[in-house]
Amino acid sequence: MPEHSTRRPADWYTSSPEQANWYKDPSHVVIPQPAEAGCSTHQPPPRSAGFEGHKAKKRRRTKIISLSVCAFLVCAALVVALWQITVQLKSLSSQTTESASAPTIVIPNGDDSSGSDSGSIYDDYQEYFEAYYSTSSEITIPAAENGTGVTLTLAEAQGEELSLQDIYDQVSPAVVGITAYIEGYEYSYGTGVVFTSDGYIITNTHVLEGCDAAVVKFSDGTEYDAYLVGSDDASDIAVLYIEGEDLPYAEFGDSDALRVGDQAIAIGNPLGETYSGTMTNGIISAINRNITYNGHTMTLLQTNAALNEGNSGGPLINAYGQVIGITNMKIMSTYYSTVEGIGFAIPSSVVKEVADQLIEYGVVLGEPTIGIVAGSVSAEAMELYGLPEGIYVSEVSEGSDALEKGLQVGDVIVAVNGETVTSVADVNLIKEGYEVGDTITLTVYRDGETFDLEIELVDKSQIEQTAP
Protein backbone atom coordinates (compact mmCIF):
# COMPACT_ATOMS: atom_id res chain seq x y z
CA MET A 1 0.00 0.00 0.00
CA PRO A 2 1.32 3.50 -0.79
CA GLU A 3 2.37 6.15 1.71
CA HIS A 4 0.26 9.36 1.41
CA SER A 5 0.81 12.88 2.55
CA THR A 6 -2.54 13.11 4.31
CA ARG A 7 -4.43 10.57 5.32
CA ARG A 8 -6.21 8.56 4.81
CA PRO A 9 -7.31 6.55 4.60
CA ALA A 10 -5.53 6.51 5.07
CA ASP A 11 -6.46 5.25 3.76
CA TRP A 12 -7.01 4.52 2.22
CA TYR A 13 -8.30 4.09 7.49
CA THR A 14 -8.13 4.83 13.44
CA SER A 15 -8.36 1.50 15.09
CA SER A 16 -8.76 2.54 18.74
CA PRO A 17 -11.97 4.15 20.02
CA GLU A 18 -11.69 7.39 21.95
CA GLN A 19 -11.51 6.73 25.66
CA ALA A 20 -14.35 8.09 27.79
CA ASN A 21 -13.58 10.60 30.56
CA TRP A 22 -14.84 9.71 34.03
CA TYR A 23 -15.45 12.46 36.56
CA LYS A 24 -15.89 11.81 40.31
CA ASP A 25 -17.26 13.94 43.15
CA PRO A 26 -14.13 15.13 45.02
CA SER A 27 -15.98 15.60 48.32
CA HIS A 28 -15.66 13.03 51.13
CA VAL A 29 -18.67 11.93 53.17
CA VAL A 30 -17.82 10.89 56.72
CA ILE A 31 -20.40 8.60 58.28
CA PRO A 32 -20.31 8.69 62.09
CA GLN A 33 -19.44 5.42 63.74
CA PRO A 34 -22.32 3.85 65.72
CA ALA A 35 -21.72 3.84 69.48
CA GLU A 36 -22.45 0.13 69.80
CA ALA A 37 -19.74 -0.84 67.34
CA GLY A 38 -17.10 -0.67 70.05
CA CYS A 39 -14.32 0.18 67.57
CA SER A 40 -13.33 3.45 69.12
CA THR A 41 -12.86 4.96 72.56
CA HIS A 42 -14.45 8.12 71.20
CA GLN A 43 -18.22 8.26 71.00
CA PRO A 44 -19.85 10.16 68.20
CA PRO A 45 -21.57 13.42 68.97
CA PRO A 46 -25.31 13.34 69.47
CA ARG A 47 -27.08 13.08 66.13
CA SER A 48 -28.94 16.18 65.25
CA ALA A 49 -32.51 16.20 64.01
CA GLY A 50 -32.79 15.33 60.32
CA PHE A 51 -29.57 13.36 60.14
CA GLU A 52 -31.32 10.06 59.33
CA GLY A 53 -33.25 11.78 56.52
CA HIS A 54 -30.03 13.22 55.14
CA LYS A 55 -28.40 9.79 55.31
CA ALA A 56 -31.35 8.20 53.52
CA LYS A 57 -31.09 10.77 50.74
CA LYS A 58 -27.39 9.97 50.45
CA ARG A 59 -28.18 6.27 50.11
CA ARG A 60 -30.86 6.93 47.48
CA ARG A 61 -28.52 9.18 45.52
CA THR A 62 -25.75 6.57 45.69
CA LYS A 63 -28.17 3.89 44.52
CA ILE A 64 -29.36 6.03 41.59
CA ILE A 65 -25.78 6.77 40.57
CA SER A 66 -24.88 3.08 40.82
CA LEU A 67 -27.88 2.06 38.69
CA SER A 68 -27.03 4.76 36.12
CA VAL A 69 -23.45 3.57 35.89
CA CYS A 70 -24.60 -0.04 35.48
CA ALA A 71 -27.04 0.97 32.75
CA PHE A 72 -24.29 2.90 30.99
CA LEU A 73 -21.92 -0.06 31.16
CA VAL A 74 -24.58 -2.43 29.80
CA CYS A 75 -25.27 -0.08 26.88
CA ALA A 76 -21.55 0.30 26.23
CA ALA A 77 -21.15 -3.47 26.23
CA LEU A 78 -23.95 -3.79 23.65
CA VAL A 79 -22.35 -1.14 21.45
CA VAL A 80 -18.99 -2.90 21.68
CA ALA A 81 -20.61 -6.22 20.78
CA LEU A 82 -22.19 -4.69 17.69
CA TRP A 83 -18.98 -2.96 16.64
CA GLN A 84 -16.93 -6.11 17.05
CA ILE A 85 -18.32 -7.32 13.73
CA THR A 86 -17.06 -4.17 12.01
CA VAL A 87 -13.59 -4.52 10.55
CA GLN A 88 -11.15 -1.89 9.42
CA LEU A 89 -9.61 -2.43 6.00
CA LYS A 90 -6.50 -0.63 4.90
CA SER A 91 -4.83 -0.55 1.55
CA LEU A 92 -1.19 -1.57 1.58
CA SER A 93 0.14 1.60 0.04
CA SER A 94 2.44 3.79 2.10
CA GLN A 95 1.92 7.54 2.25
CA THR A 96 4.70 9.93 3.07
CA THR A 97 4.93 13.41 4.57
CA GLU A 98 8.68 13.83 4.27
CA SER A 99 8.46 17.22 2.59
CA ALA A 100 7.16 19.95 4.88
CA SER A 101 6.25 22.05 1.86
CA ALA A 102 4.34 19.26 0.15
CA PRO A 103 0.78 20.15 -0.84
CA THR A 104 -2.05 19.17 1.47
CA ILE A 105 -3.97 16.20 0.11
CA VAL A 106 -7.66 16.41 0.93
CA ILE A 107 -9.38 13.04 0.97
CA PRO A 108 -13.03 13.42 -0.12
CA ASN A 109 -14.62 11.72 2.88
CA GLY A 110 -16.90 14.49 4.04
CA ASP A 111 -14.42 15.94 6.52
CA ASP A 112 -12.10 18.87 5.95
CA SER A 113 -8.91 16.98 6.75
CA SER A 114 -6.78 20.00 5.98
CA GLY A 115 -7.99 21.57 9.21
CA SER A 116 -8.28 24.97 7.54
CA ASP A 117 -11.18 27.37 7.69
CA SER A 118 -11.25 27.41 3.93
CA GLY A 119 -14.99 27.69 3.51
CA SER A 120 -15.25 31.05 5.25
CA ILE A 121 -13.36 32.87 2.50
CA TYR A 122 -15.66 31.75 -0.34
CA ASP A 123 -19.00 33.43 -0.96
CA ASP A 124 -19.94 30.85 -3.59
CA TYR A 125 -20.08 27.18 -2.67
CA GLN A 126 -18.80 26.13 -6.09
CA GLU A 127 -15.60 28.10 -5.44
CA TYR A 128 -15.41 26.41 -2.04
CA PHE A 129 -15.55 22.95 -3.61
CA GLU A 130 -12.98 23.85 -6.27
CA ALA A 131 -10.59 24.54 -3.39
CA TYR A 132 -11.83 21.70 -1.18
CA TYR A 133 -11.31 19.08 -3.87
CA SER A 134 -8.20 20.71 -5.30
CA THR A 135 -6.45 17.35 -5.60
CA SER A 136 -7.89 15.10 -8.28
CA SER A 137 -7.92 11.32 -7.93
CA GLU A 138 -7.30 11.04 -11.67
CA ILE A 139 -3.95 9.55 -12.67
CA THR A 140 -2.15 11.95 -15.03
CA ILE A 141 1.13 10.08 -15.42
CA PRO A 142 2.37 10.36 -19.05
CA ALA A 143 0.68 7.71 -21.17
CA ALA A 144 2.31 4.73 -22.87
CA GLU A 145 1.24 3.31 -26.21
CA ASN A 146 -1.69 0.89 -26.23
CA GLY A 147 -2.44 -1.93 -28.64
CA THR A 148 1.08 -3.36 -28.63
CA GLY A 149 -0.12 -6.98 -28.58
CA VAL A 150 1.57 -7.74 -25.25
CA THR A 151 -0.37 -10.07 -22.96
CA LEU A 152 0.15 -11.50 -19.50
CA THR A 153 0.83 -15.25 -19.62
CA LEU A 154 -0.22 -17.66 -16.86
CA ALA A 155 1.96 -20.77 -16.76
CA GLU A 156 1.23 -24.15 -15.23
CA ALA A 157 3.21 -25.17 -12.16
CA GLN A 158 5.88 -27.69 -13.11
CA GLY A 159 8.68 -29.54 -11.37
CA GLU A 160 9.34 -29.70 -7.66
CA GLU A 161 8.57 -27.08 -5.05
CA LEU A 162 11.39 -24.61 -4.44
CA SER A 163 13.02 -23.60 -1.19
CA LEU A 164 12.23 -20.15 0.18
CA GLN A 165 15.76 -19.05 -0.64
CA ASP A 166 15.41 -20.16 -4.26
CA ILE A 167 12.04 -18.43 -4.56
CA TYR A 168 13.55 -15.19 -3.30
CA ASP A 169 16.53 -15.41 -5.64
CA GLN A 170 14.23 -16.13 -8.58
CA VAL A 171 11.53 -13.49 -8.02
CA SER A 172 13.03 -10.59 -6.05
CA PRO A 173 15.02 -9.09 -8.97
CA ALA A 174 11.66 -8.50 -10.74
CA VAL A 175 10.09 -6.78 -7.72
CA VAL A 176 10.39 -2.99 -7.92
CA GLY A 177 9.70 0.00 -5.72
CA ILE A 178 7.29 2.58 -7.15
CA THR A 179 7.44 6.20 -5.98
CA ALA A 180 4.52 8.33 -7.15
CA TYR A 181 4.59 12.13 -7.23
CA ILE A 182 2.22 15.08 -7.29
CA GLU A 183 3.74 18.24 -8.78
CA GLY A 184 7.23 17.05 -7.94
CA TYR A 185 6.51 16.09 -4.34
CA GLU A 186 6.77 12.49 -3.21
CA TYR A 187 3.25 11.33 -2.43
CA SER A 188 3.13 7.57 -2.14
CA TYR A 189 5.33 4.51 -2.18
CA GLY A 190 4.34 1.03 -3.25
CA THR A 191 5.54 -2.11 -4.98
CA GLY A 192 5.28 -3.53 -8.48
CA VAL A 193 6.30 -6.66 -10.33
CA VAL A 194 7.83 -6.77 -13.83
CA PHE A 195 6.23 -9.40 -16.09
CA THR A 196 8.01 -8.84 -19.44
CA SER A 197 11.67 -8.35 -20.23
CA ASP A 198 10.90 -5.11 -22.08
CA GLY A 199 9.38 -3.30 -19.12
CA TYR A 200 5.68 -3.99 -18.44
CA ILE A 201 4.86 -3.79 -14.73
CA ILE A 202 1.81 -4.69 -12.65
CA THR A 203 0.90 -2.64 -9.57
CA ASN A 204 -2.20 -1.32 -7.76
CA THR A 205 -4.27 1.59 -9.00
CA HIS A 206 -4.39 3.10 -5.51
CA VAL A 207 -0.59 3.39 -5.48
CA LEU A 208 -0.82 5.86 -8.37
CA GLU A 209 -4.11 7.58 -7.61
CA GLY A 210 -3.99 11.36 -8.01
CA CYS A 211 -0.37 11.35 -9.19
CA ASP A 212 1.22 12.94 -12.25
CA ALA A 213 4.58 11.12 -12.29
CA ALA A 214 6.09 7.84 -11.10
CA VAL A 215 9.60 6.42 -10.81
CA VAL A 216 10.42 2.70 -10.76
CA LYS A 217 13.47 1.50 -8.84
CA PHE A 218 15.05 -1.97 -9.05
CA SER A 219 16.87 -3.69 -6.21
CA ASP A 220 20.24 -2.83 -7.79
CA GLY A 221 19.41 0.88 -7.56
CA THR A 222 18.57 1.39 -11.24
CA GLU A 223 15.74 3.87 -11.76
CA TYR A 224 13.35 4.47 -14.66
CA ASP A 225 10.63 6.99 -15.38
CA ALA A 226 7.31 5.18 -15.69
CA TYR A 227 4.52 5.60 -18.23
CA LEU A 228 0.90 4.68 -17.59
CA VAL A 229 -0.46 1.94 -19.84
CA GLY A 230 -3.82 1.90 -18.08
CA SER A 231 -5.54 1.64 -14.71
CA ASP A 232 -8.79 0.26 -13.35
CA ASP A 233 -10.17 1.36 -10.00
CA ALA A 234 -12.78 -1.41 -9.72
CA SER A 235 -10.14 -4.18 -9.76
CA ASP A 236 -7.34 -2.00 -8.30
CA ILE A 237 -5.01 -3.08 -11.11
CA ALA A 238 -2.71 -0.73 -13.03
CA VAL A 239 -0.08 -1.39 -15.69
CA LEU A 240 3.06 0.73 -16.06
CA TYR A 241 5.73 0.67 -18.76
CA ILE A 242 9.42 1.55 -18.55
CA GLU A 243 11.85 1.79 -21.45
CA GLY A 244 14.28 -1.04 -20.77
CA GLU A 245 15.70 -4.19 -22.31
CA ASP A 246 16.54 -7.62 -20.91
CA LEU A 247 14.97 -6.73 -17.59
CA PRO A 248 14.42 -9.36 -14.89
CA TYR A 249 10.79 -10.48 -14.86
CA ALA A 250 8.60 -12.84 -12.90
CA GLU A 251 6.56 -15.77 -14.17
CA PHE A 252 2.85 -15.72 -13.35
CA GLY A 253 0.98 -18.87 -12.34
CA ASP A 254 -2.70 -19.77 -12.38
CA SER A 255 -4.56 -18.77 -9.21
CA ASP A 256 -7.47 -21.04 -10.17
CA ALA A 257 -5.26 -24.02 -9.29
CA LEU A 258 -4.75 -22.88 -5.68
CA ARG A 259 -6.04 -24.72 -2.63
CA VAL A 260 -6.37 -23.55 0.95
CA GLY A 261 -3.15 -24.48 2.73
CA ASP A 262 -0.84 -23.90 -0.26
CA GLN A 263 2.30 -21.92 0.46
CA ALA A 264 2.08 -18.15 -0.05
CA ILE A 265 5.15 -15.91 -0.16
CA ALA A 266 5.11 -12.11 -0.41
CA ILE A 267 7.99 -9.90 -1.51
CA GLY A 268 7.66 -6.14 -1.30
CA ASN A 269 8.60 -2.86 0.28
CA PRO A 270 6.79 -2.58 3.64
CA LEU A 271 6.95 0.90 5.18
CA GLY A 272 8.74 2.26 2.13
CA GLU A 273 12.22 2.02 0.72
CA THR A 274 13.94 1.41 4.08
CA TYR A 275 12.66 -2.16 4.16
CA SER A 276 12.62 -2.81 0.42
CA GLY A 277 12.94 -6.40 -0.72
CA THR A 278 11.33 -7.88 2.39
CA MET A 279 10.04 -11.45 2.07
CA THR A 280 7.35 -12.94 4.31
CA ASN A 281 5.63 -16.30 4.06
CA GLY A 282 2.46 -18.08 5.09
CA ILE A 283 -0.31 -19.98 3.40
CA ILE A 284 -3.38 -19.41 1.31
CA SER A 285 -5.93 -18.96 4.12
CA ALA A 286 -9.05 -18.74 1.99
CA ILE A 287 -10.11 -18.43 -1.65
CA ASN A 288 -12.85 -16.25 -3.16
CA ARG A 289 -13.22 -13.78 -0.30
CA ASN A 290 -15.65 -11.02 -1.34
CA ILE A 291 -14.28 -7.79 0.13
CA THR A 292 -15.91 -4.38 -0.33
CA TYR A 293 -13.50 -1.50 -0.23
CA ASN A 294 -13.70 2.07 -1.55
CA GLY A 295 -17.09 1.32 -3.03
CA HIS A 296 -16.03 -1.72 -5.06
CA THR A 297 -16.51 -5.41 -4.28
CA MET A 298 -13.50 -7.56 -5.13
CA THR A 299 -13.08 -11.32 -4.97
CA LEU A 300 -9.67 -11.87 -3.39
CA LEU A 301 -7.27 -14.47 -2.06
CA GLN A 302 -6.74 -14.39 1.71
CA THR A 303 -3.31 -15.06 3.20
CA ASN A 304 -1.57 -14.91 6.57
CA ALA A 305 1.75 -13.85 5.01
CA ALA A 306 2.66 -10.57 6.74
CA LEU A 307 1.64 -7.54 4.67
CA ASN A 308 2.14 -3.89 5.58
CA GLU A 309 1.91 -0.44 4.06
CA GLY A 310 4.25 -0.32 1.08
CA ASN A 311 3.44 -3.90 0.00
CA SER A 312 0.67 -2.67 -2.32
CA GLY A 313 1.14 -3.94 -5.85
CA GLY A 314 3.70 -6.59 -4.91
CA PRO A 315 3.59 -10.29 -5.76
CA LEU A 316 2.06 -13.14 -3.79
CA ILE A 317 4.02 -16.22 -4.89
CA ASN A 318 3.39 -19.96 -4.84
CA ALA A 319 5.85 -22.72 -3.94
CA TYR A 320 7.07 -22.91 -7.55
CA GLY A 321 8.19 -19.28 -7.70
CA GLN A 322 5.17 -18.14 -9.72
CA VAL A 323 3.16 -14.99 -9.00
CA ILE A 324 -0.39 -16.06 -8.20
CA GLY A 325 -1.67 -12.76 -6.77
CA ILE A 326 -1.05 -9.02 -6.37
CA THR A 327 -1.25 -7.90 -2.73
CA ASN A 328 -3.47 -4.89 -2.11
CA MET A 329 -5.02 -4.75 1.38
CA LYS A 330 -5.31 -6.19 4.87
CA ILE A 331 -7.67 -6.07 7.83
CA MET A 332 -6.12 -3.81 10.47
CA SER A 333 -8.56 -4.18 13.34
CA THR A 334 -12.06 -4.66 14.60
CA TYR A 335 -13.49 -1.87 16.74
CA TYR A 336 -11.68 -2.93 19.90
CA SER A 337 -9.18 -5.52 18.67
CA THR A 338 -6.08 -5.44 16.56
CA VAL A 339 -5.99 -8.09 13.85
CA GLU A 340 -2.96 -10.00 12.61
CA GLY A 341 -2.50 -12.28 9.64
CA ILE A 342 -5.50 -11.39 7.47
CA GLY A 343 -4.19 -10.00 4.21
CA PHE A 344 -5.56 -10.10 0.68
CA ALA A 345 -4.32 -10.35 -2.89
CA ILE A 346 -5.95 -10.01 -6.30
CA PRO A 347 -5.91 -13.46 -8.00
CA SER A 348 -3.65 -13.78 -11.04
CA SER A 349 -6.61 -14.92 -13.17
CA VAL A 350 -8.25 -11.52 -12.54
CA VAL A 351 -4.95 -9.70 -13.03
CA LYS A 352 -4.54 -11.26 -16.49
CA GLU A 353 -8.08 -10.41 -17.57
CA VAL A 354 -7.70 -6.77 -16.53
CA ALA A 355 -4.08 -6.28 -17.60
CA ASP A 356 -4.68 -7.61 -21.11
CA GLN A 357 -7.48 -5.08 -21.66
CA LEU A 358 -5.46 -2.23 -20.17
CA ILE A 359 -2.55 -2.99 -22.48
CA GLU A 360 -4.82 -3.21 -25.52
CA TYR A 361 -7.27 -0.37 -24.83
CA GLY A 362 -6.02 1.57 -21.80
CA VAL A 363 -9.29 0.83 -20.00
CA VAL A 364 -11.43 -2.17 -19.11
CA LEU A 365 -14.33 -2.48 -21.55
CA GLY A 366 -17.88 -2.99 -20.40
CA GLU A 367 -17.57 -1.26 -17.03
CA PRO A 368 -20.66 0.89 -16.39
CA THR A 369 -20.23 4.45 -15.18
CA ILE A 370 -22.37 7.53 -14.60
CA GLY A 371 -19.64 9.72 -16.05
CA ILE A 372 -19.07 12.23 -13.25
CA VAL A 373 -16.35 13.34 -10.88
CA ALA A 374 -17.81 13.87 -7.42
CA GLY A 375 -17.03 13.99 -3.72
CA SER A 376 -18.82 14.12 -0.37
CA VAL A 377 -20.41 17.36 0.81
CA SER A 378 -18.47 18.31 3.93
CA ALA A 379 -20.11 19.23 7.23
CA GLU A 380 -18.53 22.67 6.86
CA ALA A 381 -20.16 23.20 3.45
CA MET A 382 -23.55 22.10 4.79
CA GLU A 383 -23.27 24.65 7.60
CA LEU A 384 -21.88 27.52 5.54
CA TYR A 385 -24.05 27.20 2.43
CA GLY A 386 -27.11 25.29 3.58
CA LEU A 387 -26.37 22.34 1.30
CA PRO A 388 -27.93 18.92 1.93
CA GLU A 389 -25.91 15.83 2.70
CA GLY A 390 -24.86 14.06 -0.49
CA ILE A 391 -22.12 14.11 -3.13
CA TYR A 392 -21.11 17.30 -4.94
CA VAL A 393 -20.70 17.03 -8.73
CA SER A 394 -17.47 18.74 -9.80
CA GLU A 395 -17.39 17.46 -13.39
CA VAL A 396 -19.77 15.84 -15.87
CA SER A 397 -18.01 13.97 -18.66
CA GLU A 398 -18.51 14.43 -22.38
CA GLY A 399 -20.15 11.36 -23.88
CA SER A 400 -22.15 10.57 -20.74
CA ASP A 401 -25.92 10.31 -20.61
CA ALA A 402 -25.77 12.31 -17.37
CA LEU A 403 -24.56 15.34 -19.35
CA GLU A 404 -27.19 14.71 -22.02
CA LYS A 405 -29.96 14.61 -19.39
CA GLY A 406 -28.89 17.91 -17.83
CA LEU A 407 -26.76 17.03 -14.78
CA GLN A 408 -24.56 20.04 -14.04
CA VAL A 409 -21.40 20.96 -12.16
CA GLY A 410 -22.54 22.24 -8.76
CA ASP A 411 -25.41 19.78 -8.41
CA VAL A 412 -25.61 17.67 -5.26
CA ILE A 413 -26.75 14.06 -5.69
CA VAL A 414 -28.62 13.14 -2.51
CA ALA A 415 -29.95 9.71 -3.51
CA VAL A 416 -29.58 7.00 -6.15
CA ASN A 417 -32.59 4.78 -6.85
CA GLY A 418 -34.19 6.22 -3.72
CA GLU A 419 -31.24 5.27 -1.48
CA THR A 420 -29.50 8.10 0.37
CA VAL A 421 -25.85 8.58 -0.66
CA THR A 422 -23.16 10.51 1.21
CA SER A 423 -20.05 9.31 -0.63
CA VAL A 424 -18.89 8.04 -4.00
CA ALA A 425 -18.48 4.64 -2.35
CA ASP A 426 -22.22 4.62 -1.65
CA VAL A 427 -22.92 5.25 -5.32
CA ASN A 428 -20.56 2.50 -6.47
CA LEU A 429 -22.16 -0.02 -4.12
CA ILE A 430 -25.61 0.77 -5.54
CA LYS A 431 -24.23 0.37 -9.08
CA GLU A 432 -22.93 -3.12 -8.32
CA GLY A 433 -24.75 -5.59 -10.55
CA TYR A 434 -25.77 -2.99 -13.13
CA GLU A 435 -24.54 -3.17 -16.71
CA VAL A 436 -23.84 -0.69 -19.49
CA GLY A 437 -27.18 0.51 -20.82
CA ASP A 438 -29.07 0.05 -17.55
CA THR A 439 -30.95 3.06 -16.16
CA ILE A 440 -30.67 4.48 -12.65
CA THR A 441 -32.46 7.40 -10.98
CA LEU A 442 -30.48 10.27 -9.46
CA THR A 443 -32.17 12.55 -6.92
CA VAL A 444 -30.52 15.94 -7.44
CA TYR A 445 -30.48 19.12 -5.34
CA ARG A 446 -30.00 22.38 -7.24
CA ASP A 447 -30.67 25.97 -6.14
CA GLY A 448 -32.97 24.97 -3.30
CA GLU A 449 -34.98 22.46 -5.33
CA THR A 450 -34.84 18.67 -5.51
CA PHE A 451 -35.74 16.64 -8.60
CA ASP A 452 -35.09 13.25 -10.23
CA LEU A 453 -33.04 12.46 -13.32
CA GLU A 454 -33.14 9.08 -15.04
CA ILE A 455 -29.76 8.43 -16.64
CA GLU A 456 -28.27 5.54 -18.56
CA LEU A 457 -24.99 4.00 -17.47
CA VAL A 458 -22.32 4.22 -20.18
CA ASP A 459 -19.10 2.32 -20.88
CA LYS A 460 -16.03 3.82 -19.24
CA SER A 461 -14.18 3.53 -22.52
CA GLN A 462 -16.57 6.02 -24.14
CA ILE A 463 -15.71 8.90 -21.83
CA GLU A 464 -12.56 10.56 -20.53
CA GLN A 465 -13.37 10.56 -16.80
CA THR A 466 -13.99 7.27 -15.06
CA ALA A 467 -15.33 8.01 -11.58
CA PRO A 468 -17.58 6.92 -10.12
Which among 181, 273, 290, 186 is positioned nearest to 221, based on CA atoms?
Answer: 273
Question: Choosing from 4, 118, 188, 206, which is the catalytic residue?
Answer: 206
Question: 3-state class of 172 per DSSP?
Answer: helix
281 vs 164: CA distance, rounded Å: 9
Question: Strand locations in 126-183, DSSP E?
Answer: 154-155, 175-182
CB within 8 A of 408, min separation 6: which ones? 393, 396, 446
Q: 378 an active-site residue?
A: no
Question: 3-state class of 257 per DSSP?
Answer: helix
Which among 353, 390, 388 is positioned nearest to 372, based on CA atoms?
Answer: 390
Q: 236 an active-site residue?
A: yes
56, burial (CB in 10 Å: exposed 0-12, middle 13-18, buried 19+): exposed
Which among 114, 139, 147 is positioned nearest to 128, based on CA atoms?
Answer: 114
Question: Choosing from 11, 233, 236, 459, which is the catalytic residue?
Answer: 236
Amino acid at 364: V
The number of CA neighbours under 13 Å toward the Cβ of 363 is: 15
Return the DSSP state at 61: H
Question: Choosing from 312, 333, 394, 423, which is the catalytic residue?
Answer: 312
Enzyme catalytic residues: 206, 236, 312
